[in-house]
Structure 1
Amino acid sequence: MRPPRPLPAAIAVVAVGALVAVALWRPWEDSAEAVGGPPEISVSRSQCGQGWTDARTGRQTLMLHNTGDASAEVDLVEVTSNKVFGEVEGLGPNTAAPMDVQLGAGQYAIRCLIEDTDPITGPSVTLTGDAKGGPAAVAVTKNDMLPLVKQYEAAVATGVAQLAAKTDKLRGDVDAGNLVAARSDWLSAHLAYNSLGAAYGAFGDFADKIDGADAGFHPLEKGLWHNATAAALKPIATKLAADVHGLQADLPNQQVDPNDLGLRAHEIMENALQFELTGENDQGSGTSLNTALANLNGTANVLAILKPVLEPRYPALPEVQKWEDRTRALLTAHQSTPVAQLDRGTREQLNGAVGELLEKLAPVAAICEVRRG
């Protein structure tokens, strides 16, 4: 399990047949690009939502212009339900950005979330017509997420304690020169780490020390499956166990970012697709699919924690479960088989199932992102 890759500067997250479609855009460098487009809607402390003069139902692009002196986020909300139909982030002073939305009949308003200012809701705009509204979701608040984060942190603390016991056993095997047992216990410990899921973003430097490309589990795997001596492996196993205990001791000082729960649900399996299903991480044990299954367990644990937030907001959640089950069945059937030994059909099935799962997981981060409102 590797630390997450940085997200790109501009992100578009669209739910597939689901409840939320939120487009996140970086501001244009020059608002002059908007010349000739739709009327600009003001974003500022004194004029939030002013200028929305062409309101209508259906698919449309709203042009937002920050006329204030501070950066802002902007939401388009349905007044009666507080559902968010569109969002623009990072709108700097004197810049403009488009918001693409699909609106049905109802009452809507622009909500301006300006730095160092309480949320400001602009004037309500009533739309009539037969057009169907697009996906939307009630914003998730900090209060919604904090109990879930606490629950997850408690589960992680239990998981790290189990990991520490397993790496101690692995170290003991190597110390005793019992490398047959060490191979078995290496796998047990490695899978325990990869089942921790979303927490690894909070592990800091310990993530690289324990499961980096050239540290911790990976050089130990390489040595165990390439006839290294117990004497050569002993310092690696000792350091791995020490780093896991260091993580365990430091864990009370670490906090899982609420936004990480939703984000990692997707990223865990994205990394599994890139590093495990290609065999890139395999250092000789042939257990990449076991690791991918542990990653899937980590994702399942995250989704179980997020269920109270996701269930009322994401109608496609059963589709996530469907593809999770399909992926689990395939990984279970072929675990302990080196990726290089899979036939083409099986590899295509695995890649297809994980790809579908990733598509269904894509909206989770946007739905679970903590917003002011």
Structure 2
Amino acid sequence: MSPVTRTAAGLASLTVAAALLAGCTSTAPTAQGAGDGGPITVNATDTACEISTAQAPAGNVTFRITNAGSKVTEFYLYATGDRIMGEVENIGPGLSRDLIVEVPDGGTYTTACKPGMSGDGIRAPFTVTGSAQRATDTDAELAAATAGYLRYVSSQSDALVTKTSEFAAAVSARDVAKAKSLFPVARTYYERIEPIAESFGDLDPKLDGREDDERDPGVAWTGFHRLEKDLWVDGLKADSPQVAATLVTDAKDLRGRIPGLKLTPAELANGAKSLLDEVATGKITGEEDRYSHTDLWDFQANVEGSQAAVAALRPVIDAKDPALGPLLDQRFAAVDTLLQGYRVGDGYKLYTQLTPEDTKKMAAAVDALAEPVSKVAGTVTA
């Protein structure tokens, strides 16, 4: 999800379902002192985001979010410019989730709860004091993990530009059949690295925003999903070629920002989990590609991206928790085997061809995978 977060319609939490819900107005968090160094507790309701302290020392910061409201919620920690330092999504009513974030630099950050998973959220300032060495500065294996994952992100962003350019060319040529065939392929490269794109608060809404997302007045709807609707519902419009050209420009912008990234191991681990949350909140429900129904392409790409992040961290996982790696292998393989059953040629069945039993099986498989993936952040930062 981006800072201008998508509205969740037909949301299928793996254990909770929620209807389309709106965001809430902002209230300040409750500062309750630094405590004993344990997790910072976040009590999220439909109208408030109560945080046990408004500051923490630099280093690994753990938030324990409990959803005491009636709406599925999210929690974010933002740096300047709404750069996402860490997030947890799809927290159903009555559930709790931990977020571990490495914050080596002191300064002012922003916390946000997003009841209903929409809008800018209930925000408040959060102060990080002092400074700390990055884990990658003191641990060679963690440094190798983040460097390896950045190489993966770079290769995917290169392919995103290439395939998006081909897709845009087909739109400009008004070759509808070719554009339709390229749409899910181009999106594959975006979906594999979606947490990276989302970390840039301005880019994700441009590339992947949906029609009913909240936007500032006068800001046009652009990106993949605008062209998806043109191709499958409305027909190509006079400005469709320009929208396609802008999509290529934004994809190139994303690629250009990759070399400047300084990822932490916690970001890799949290990104792996957030990709599975994306599957749960958009792909299993058919909400993501609502016009083309090519959701299973995105589903597969999200899982592949999650697996790539986990694979980069695997040497550290194996050293710290030898039992976790084999379990992750087993669960990733189970999801892949399930998805292979829906292959059709070089692609997948359309979402509209799935049965309720199909989506139930998918939810169960992703739920089973999400459980060990949720342990990765705690393992690699221990």
Answer yes or no: same fold by TM over 0.5.
Answer: yes
- Aligned: 1:307 with 2:314: yes
| CA pair 312-242 structure 1, distance change in 2 beyond 3 A | same
Cα 1:197–1:311 shift into 2, 3 Å: farther
Structure 1 residue 164: deviation in Å? 0.6
CA distance in 1: counterparts of 2:360 and 2:292, whole angstroms = 22
Q: Please report how far the alpha carbon of residue 217 of structure 1 lies from its aligned counterpart in structure 2 after TM superposition.
A: 0.8
Say whether 1:158 aligns with 2:170: no
Which amino acid is the alignment partner of residue 332 of structure 2? E
| Residue equivalent to 1:29 | 32
1:143 is the counterpart of 2:138? yes
Q: Shift of the alpha carbon at 1:265?
A: 0.9
In the other structure, the counterpart of 1:284 is 291
Distance 1:118 1:169, change over 3 A: closer
- Checking the alignment, whether the CA contact within 8 Å between 2:58 and 2:132 is kept in structure 1 is no
Q: 1:192 to 1:356 in 2, by over 3 A?
A: same
Residues 1-373 of structure 1 aligned to structure 2 (within 5 Å): 2-3=1-2, 29=32, 116=130, 142-144=137-139, 145-214=142-211, 215-229=222-236, 231-314=238-321, 315-335=323-343, 336-369=348-381
- Do the aligned partners of 1:276 and 1:291 also contact (CA within 8 Å) in 2? yes
Deviates more, 1:254-263 or 1:173-182: 254-263
Q: Which amino acid aligns with 1:228?
A: G
Whole-angstrom distance in 1 between the partners of 2:265 and 2:324: 22
**Counterpart amino acid of residue 333 in structure 1:** G
Paired residues in the alignment total: 262
For residues 132 and 196 of structure 2, the distance between their equivalents in structure 1, rounded to whole angstroms, comes to 31
1:305-355: CA deviations, max 9, x gaps?
111111112212211111111111222322533334322222211110000
Contact 1:175 1:230 in 2 (8 A): no
TM-score when normalising by structure 2: 0.60
* Deviation at residue 29 of structure 1 after TM alignment: 3.4
**Structure 1 SS opposite 2:269:** helix
User: What is the identity, as a one-letter code, of the residue corresponding to 1:346?
Assistant: D
- State the identity %: 24
Q: Structure 1: which 5+ runs fail to align?
A: 7-25, 32-40, 44-69, 76-87, 90-113, 120-139
C-alpha spacing 1:263/1:71, structure 2 compared with 1 (3 Å): closer
Q: Deviations over 1:116-145 (max 9, x none)?
A: 4999xxxxxxxxxxxxxxxxxxxx664332
Cα drift, residue 296 of structure 1? 0.5
- Superposed displacement of residue 212, structure 1: 2.0
Match of 2:375, SS? helix
- Given the two structures, how large is their TM-score scaled by the length of structure 1? 0.62
C-alpha separation between the residues in 1 aligned to 2:353 and 2:240? 28
The aligned residue for residue 48 of structure 1 is none
Q: Mark the CA change 1:117 to 1:158 in structure 2 (over 3 Å): closer, same or farther.
A: closer
Q: Distance in 2 between matches of 1:299 and 1:74?
A: 24
1:359/1:308 Cα in 2 relative to 1: closer, same or farther (>3 Å)? same
CA distance in structure 2 between the aligned counterparts of 1:241 and 1:365, rounded to whole angstroms: 33
Q: CA deviation at 1:248?
A: 2.0
Structure with max Cα Rg: 1
The 1:240–1:312 alpha-carbon spacing in structure 2 relative to 1, beyond 3 Å, is same
Aligned mates of 1:241, 1:118 — CA distance in 2: 38
Change in Cα spacing, 1:170 to 1:116, as seen in structure 2 (3 Å) is closer
Change (3 A) 1:311 1:251: same
Task: Quote how far apart the aligned CAs of 1:229 are.
Answer: 2.2
Cα deviation for residue 146 of structure 1 reads: 2.3
- CA apart distance, 1:232: 4.0
Query: Pairwise CA RMSD of aligned residues?
Result: 3.5
SS in structure 1 of the partner of residue 174 of structure 2: coil
